[in-house]
Amino acid sequence: MDFSVVLELVPALFSAICAALMAWFNARMKKRDKLLEKEEEAREREEQARKAENEAIREGMQAILRDRMIQMYEYCESRQFAPIYMVENMNHMYKAYHVLGGNGAMVTLYDKFKTFPHSRECAEDLQH
């Protein structure tokens, strides 16, 4: 074979090899892109599930706090006084309730609760 023919074939052969490599590379990149898309979709689904779970926990905790504050109010109302430890508990629950997004429905109850005397003796003095 003549050396000049070989030299003429080298650019064509080089082009063919480059085209094959580019096709292989493009195929690998498409496969990688699809994998990344699937991973991103999975992350988004997990994030949505996590948000939904956190929202359910937040709403549940808010409902528990609301229920407990109502129970505490009714108990103290029936006794006509609120011991200091209950006042402290109510304060903590009320703050947490609002941080969790509680509305103003508990404001009136909380304001009334704060007016209870802190001992039975004080309650009896107020009745006389």
> Which tens digit of pLDDT belongs to each residue from 76-100?
999 999 999 999 999 999 999 999 9
pLDDT for the residue 1: 60
Residue type, position 98, single letter: H
Q: How confident is the model at residue 3 (pLDDT cuts 50, 70, 90)?
A: confident
pLDDT for the residue 5: 77
Q: Is the dihedral of CA 30, 34, 35, 37 positive or negative?
A: positive
pLDDT tens string 30-74: 999 999 999 999 999 999 999 999 999 999 999 999 999 999 999
Cα–Cα separations (whole angstroms), residue 77 to 45, 82, 83, 88, 118: 47, 8, 12, 16, 12
Residue 82, burial from CB neighbour count under 10 angstroms (0-12, 13-18, 19+): buried
Q: Tokens 């994030």, residue?
A: 47
Q: DSSP label at 104?
A: T
Region class of 8: left (phi > 0), else alpha (psi between -120 and 50), else beta = alpha
Q: Is the dihedral of CA 82, 85, 89, 95 positive or negative?
A: positive
pTM comes to 0.68
